[in-house]
Amino acid sequence: MDENILRKIIQNYETPTYIFDISILKERIEYLRTALPEKVKFCYAIKANPFLVKELEEVVDRFEVCSPGEYQICRKRKIDIKKILISGVYKTPELIMDMVKDDEIENFTIESMQQFQLLKYINRKLKVLIRITSGNQFGINSEEAEEIIKNRSQYENLDIIGIQYFSGTQKKSIKNLEKELTYVQELINKFKNEYDFETRELEFGPGFPVSYFQNEEFDEEIFFKEFSELINQMEFKGQIILEFGRSMVASCGSYITKVVDKKVNKGQNYAILDGGIHQLVYYGQSMAMKIPMCEIYPKRENVNEKWNLCGSLCTINDILVKQFPAGNLQIGDILIFKNTGAYCMTEGIALFLSRDLPSVLKIKENGEIELLRDNLPTYKFNY
Ligand SMILES: Cc1ncc(COP(=O)(O)O)c(C=O)c1O
C-alpha cells in the first residue's frame, strides 16, 4: 500500500480496519479479462465481498446473490436487477415472491427440487439455470435435471437457459477442472441428444485459487493459460459465464491491526494485536502455522526476532501467526495483512468476546479514502 495513504489512514481512523483499494480491484479485473478467453462473461459471487458490489457493477456481467441479506445489499446499492442471479440454498416462498414482484428479479437457479416447485408456479416468465451438484449439498442430481428438461413444455413460465456448475474453491488442479468440464460437456450432449434441449448458457464456478501464504508456489499465468485452452477446446459453443469470488477481489484488500501489548513468556515473544482471528480468516490457515503475506509499518531492516502475533480474544486459539519474523516489534507498530479482500472480513467469529466490528475503508481510484462502515459495537447483540 502507498505509504502516504497508509499514514493518512493510521492518523485518521482507528485500527483494526479493512481497506479495499479500488485501483487494484480494477487492474485485477483488466488482468482477468486478458488472461481468460474474450468470449467468457464474468459473474461475481457477492459473498466474497459484499462491500464491492457497486464498484463492480460496471465491470462484471452478473452478480450471484445467495441470501436475503445479499439481496438487500444489492437493492440498497441499486444494482441493476437484470444483472442479478438468485442462487444458493434455502429461499422461502415469501422471499421469492418479494424478489419477483413488480417484475423485478428474473434470473434464478434451480437449486433443489423444492425450489423448482416454487419457481414453476410463479406467475411470470423467469430465466432459470439448473444447478447440477458437484457432489455436495448444492444443486440437484443430473437425473433430476433430466426429468425437468424432459418435461419442460409443462413449465411455461420457465425459460431454461442452461446449467450452473460450481466446482469448489481454491481449485489448483487443472486436471480436476478438466474432468469437471468434460462431465458438464457430456451432460450438455446428453440433454441435446436425448431431449433435444439446447443449452444456451453454462455458468461455471471454477474456484480459481489465491495464494495467501509466503512460499506458496503457484504460477497463475500458466494456470489461466491452461484453463483458457480447456474452455476454447470445449464442444459447447454457447455462452460461458465464469463465477468469481476470491480470485477477483482478494488482492484489493488489506487488514490493518496495531500492536497494543507485548511480552516474553517462557522465552517466547508474544505481541497482542487489537484485531484477531474473529476478524481475519485465511483459507487454509491451520493453527496459525503458515505465514500470511503481511508487512510491518514502520518498515524493518532486520527481522531476525520472531513473534507470535496474537489477537485480543481471550482464547488460546487467537493466534494470527506463529513465529512471524518481525524484528524488534514495538507497541504501536502496525501490521498490514494483505490479500484480504475476499471472505477474510466476513467469515470470522465476529461476535465472540463482544469486541467491536472493525471499520471498512475504501481507497478510491483518485487516492481519496472513504469510510464505508464505521466500527460497530457488538456487545449489543450479546445480552
Ligand atoms: C455458486 C458459487 N459460485 C462462486 C463462488 C465463489 O467461489 P470462489 O471464491 O472460490 O471463486 C461460490 C463460493 O462459495 C459459490 O458458492
Distance 30 CA to ligand 1 centre (A): 20
Q: Are residues 238 and 306 in the same domain?
A: no
Q: Ligand 1: which residue has its CA nearest to atom 9?
A: 245
Is ligand 1 within 6 A of the CB of residue 205? yes
Going by pLDDT thresholds of 50, 70 and 90, the confidence category of residue 311 is very high
Residue 180 has pLDDT above 90, yes or no: yes
Q: Are residues 341 and 199 in the same domain?
A: no
Using the 3D structure, point to which of 229, 244, 259 is the last residue of a domain. 244
Is ligand 1 within 6 A of the CB of residue 45? yes
Q: Does 23 reside within a domain?
A: no
- Ligand 1, atom nearest to 247 Cα: 11
**Helix, strand and coil percent figures for the chain, each rounded to 5:** 35, 25, 40
Q: Are residues 72 and 217 in the same domain?
A: yes
Q: Are residues 117 and 200 in the same domain?
A: yes
CA distance 149 to 8: 57
Residue 17 has pLDDT above 80, yes or no: yes
Q: Ligand 1: which residue has its CA nearest to atom 16?
A: 166
Is ligand 1 within 6 A of the CB of residue 48? yes
- Ligand 1, atom nearest to 248 Cα: 11
The three cell numbers of residue 325 are 519474523
Number of domains in the chain: 2
Distance 244 CA to ligand 1 centre (A): 6
Going by pLDDT thresholds of 50, 70 and 90, the confidence category of residue 217 is confident
Q: Ligand 1: which residue has its CA nearest to atom 6?
A: 245
Residue range 145-165, pLDDT digits in tens: 999 999 999 999 999 999 999
What length does the chain have? 383
Helical spans, DSSP H, in the chain: 3-12, 22-35, 53-56, 68-76, 93-100, 113-120, 142-150, 174-195, 220-233, 246-249
Distance 60 CA to ligand 1 centre (A): 15
CATH number at residue 340: 2.40.37.10
Residue range 55-111, pLDDT digits in tens: 999 999 999 999 999 999 999 999 999 999 999 999 999 999 999 987 689 999 999
Q: Are residues 186 and 282 in the same domain?
A: no
Q: Are residues 187 and 305 in the same domain?
A: no
Distance 31 CA to ligand 1 centre (A): 19
Distance 329 CA to ligand 1 centre (A): 38
**Rg, the chain, Cα only:** 23
Using the 3D structure, point to which of 244, 271, 297 is the last residue of a domain. 244
CATH number at residue 119: 3.20.20.10
Q: Does 222 reside within a domain?
A: yes
Q: Considering the chain, what is the average pLDDT of its residues?
A: 96
Q: Are residues 240 and 255 in the same domain?
A: no
Q: Are residues 191 and 261 in the same domain?
A: no
Q: Are residues 76 and 224 in the same domain?
A: yes
Q: Does 57 reside within a domain?
A: yes
Choose one of 44, 64, 167 to mutate for the ligand 1 pocket test, by most ligand atoms within 8 angstroms of C-beta. 64
Residue range 318-359, pLDDT digits in tens: 999 999 999 999 999 999 999 999 999 999 999 999 999 999
CB-based contacts of 214, cutoff 8 Å, min separation 6: 290, 291, 292, 293
Q: How far is CA 225 from CA 33, 174, 218, 313, in A?
A: 12, 10, 13, 43
Residue 103, pLDDT score: 66
Q: Does 298 reside within a domain?
A: yes
Q: Ligand 1: which residue has its CA nearest to atom 11?
A: 245
Residue 7 has pLDDT above 80, yes or no: yes
CA distance 321 to 362: 26
Distance 134 CA to ligand 1 centre (A): 12
Q: Does 27 reside within a domain?
A: no
Is ligand 1 within 6 A of the CB of residue 64? yes
Residue range 133-143, pLDDT digits in tens: 999 999 999 99
Q: Does 25 reside within a domain?
A: no
Residue range 349-371, pLDDT digits in tens: 999 999 999 999 999 999 999 99
Q: Are residues 111 and 163 in the same domain?
A: yes
Distance 43 CA to ligand 1 centre (A): 10
Residue 287, pLDDT score: 81
Is ligand 1 within 6 A of the CB of residue 207? yes
Q: Does the predicted TM-score (pTM) go above 0.95?
A: yes
Using the 3D structure, point to which of 193, 228, 244 is the last residue of a domain. 244
Q: Does 26 reside within a domain?
A: no
Residue 211, pLDDT score: 94
> Structural domain of residue 351, as residue ranges?
3-17+251-381
Residue 286, pLDDT score: 82
Residue 257, pLDDT score: 98
Residue 298 has pLDDT above 90, yes or no: yes
Residue 284, pLDDT score: 87
Distance 170 CA to ligand 1 centre (A): 10
Q: Are residues 184 and 55 in the same domain?
A: yes
Q: Does 193 reside within a domain?
A: yes
Going by pLDDT thresholds of 50, 70 and 90, the confidence category of residue 285 is confident
Q: Are residues 274 and 157 in the same domain?
A: no
Distance 208 CA to ligand 1 centre (A): 9
- Ligand 1, atom nearest to 88 Cα: 1
